[in-house]
Chain A
Amino acid sequence: MPNLLQAATSQVGRKFLTGLTGVFLVLFIIFHLGGNLAIFGEPDAMNRYSMTLHELGPLLWFARIGLLAVFLIHAWIGISIWIKKKKARPNKYEVYSSKGGPSKQSLSSRSMAFTGIVLLIFVILHVNTFALGDTGTVMIDGKETHDIKTLVIDTFQNSAGYAFGYAFVMLLLGTHLGHGIWSAFTSLGMKSKKLSAAMYTIGGILAVVFAVGFLFIPLYIYFGGGCEAALIQCQ
């Protein structure tokens, strides 16, 4: 009987953990997108959302550390699978092609390592820009809180690099999730052929929804002129 560490680092254990952490990360993405879309709500909706999160205090730190751990486990296993792949086939094929049919080989599945590594680098830069960024303050309900909304608008309105860079990375996120969502459930033991086929379609649709949802915001701010844009109300 393997101990917990041996089990977790076995081929099946690694895949199970990748799937489990993947599902958590997708839940986080849904949560994050919800927060982002608050930019189109009431003038103070986004900052109020940010304030509510900060008011969680130690619970927020617990969530942050948990999320970081989930993210690092997912990335570490993904990268180790990719490295091991080269060891498992030292001599490449002269000609290689997919047989199609039930195969799930696609741009999405074949680029998981690449899109994953780009997302890893992106998340570090993204946290540095916004979560650790230098925000001004704003008064909500008589309390002083971070003015994250102004930082977001200023960043994307004044920099084509940020706006297009973010949009491009969000396309890669969609590409990663196109295979990733279905694959996560398969790694967790999704066996039914009918459920698997349905999940592949649902995963693909969700991937498009997330990518479009996230990339719309920077591009809309850049082209719409920030606070001048029709859908954004500033205080």
Chain B
Amino acid sequence: MSTSLMTIHLKIWRQKNAEDKGGFHDYTLDNVNEHMSFLEMLDVLNEKLIMEGIDPVEFDYDCREGICGSCNLVINGRAHGPKHKTAACQLHMRNYNDGDTIVIEPPRAAAFPVIKDLVVDRSAFDRIIEAGGYVSVNTGQAPEANLIPVKKKVADEAFDYATCIGCGACVAACPNSSASLFTGAKLAHLNSLPQGQTEREERTLAMVEQMEKEGFGDCSNFAECEAVCPVGISISAIAQMRRDYMKALV
């Protein structure tokens, strides 16, 4: 496998803590391997910064295989970078050219306050889930898995919505900072399955209410959330949330 090395200029948001005003700092990395993932490139930068006695750049990550949703970076103005259905950790440096300048910012929303540098507090999502993102089950032995019939189409749809990893790219990319895709996906997942029917109405009302309380903006149907979603959740989830909300009222 041939390897080309690049020089990459980085413009990264640095912010000491939530109270700090923050600002951009410029860094240049030489010998960036095109096979590196985006996060590995940041690891190399941090090694260099540590050697120079500079505070390394804080960024969120966990699995580095596109399934945990920790790595929500806004890269050149796009959540998770330029590629569709790809989390930032699955983005590779071969998507960039020698001499490119890359601007990296944290997701910006009042509901996602910056903790440090590129790390934001996404516990607003946890509180939306706590408001109703659960199903009630009987205690005791685990029920037989095939006891409740679920249509294939319904199971597939519910699974598609269940793939939401809560990364917050939808909020980051939405011009209004709306959390409608996240909330819609969680609701559509649980509301479409038989196990989720017991709390269907309460769940819908409570999660929509919590979403608003957290300070997320309104949805204007820009569908940018669908474009940046690393698992490609459709805005059909938002339409389903609206249907469920109206049904819950009557």
Same complex origin of A and B = yes
Interface residues of A (CB under 8 A from B): 1-2, 7, 10-16, 81, 84-85, 87-105, 109-110, 112, 179, 182-183, 186-193, 196
B249 at the interface (CB under 8 A from A): yes
Within 8 A of A (CB), among B206-229: 208-209, 211-212, 215-224, 226-228
Q: A85-B217, A88-B177, A189-B239 are in contact. List 11 more A-B contacts (CB 8 A).
A: A85-B176, A87-B215, A88-B109, A88-B111, A88-B178, A88-B216, A89-B176, A97-B77, A98-B78, A99-B173, A101-B226
Q: Quick one: closest B residue to A81, CB to CB? A: B218
Interface residues in B, total, Cβ within 8 A: 52
Which of A15, A91, A105 is in CB contact (< 8 Å) with B242? Answer: A15
In the bound complex, CA of A90 to CA of B112 (Å): 11
* Shortest distance from the beta carbon of A78 to any chain B beta carbon, whole Å: 9
Interface SS, B side: mixed
A contact residues around B180 at 8 Å (CB): 11
Contact status B222-A105, CB under 8 Å: yes
Given contacts A2-B205, A87-B110, A109-B222, contact A99 B217 (CB under 8 A): no
* Shortest distance from the beta carbon of B173 to any chain A beta carbon, whole Å: 7
B56 at the interface (CB under 8 A from A): no
B89 at the interface (CB under 8 A from A): no
Q: Quick one: closest B residue to A9, CB to CB? A: B212
In the bound complex, CA of A172 to CA of B79 (Å): 30
* Shortest distance from the beta carbon of B163 to any chain A beta carbon, whole Å: 16
In the bound complex, CA of A182 to CA of B24 (Å): 39
Contact status B227-A101, CB under 8 Å: yes
Contact status A95-B110, CB under 8 Å: no
Given contacts A95-B76, A189-B239, contact A81 B221 (CB under 8 A): no
A-B contact pairs, 16 of them (CB 8 A): A11-B212, A16-B242, A85-B175, A88-B111, A88-B215, A89-B176, A94-B11, A98-B78, A98-B224, A99-B228, A102-B226, A103-B223, A105-B175, A189-B240, A191-B240, A192-B236
- What 6 A-B pairs have minimum CB-CB distances, sorted nearest first? A88-B217, A95-B77, A103-B227, A88-B177, A189-B243, A99-B227
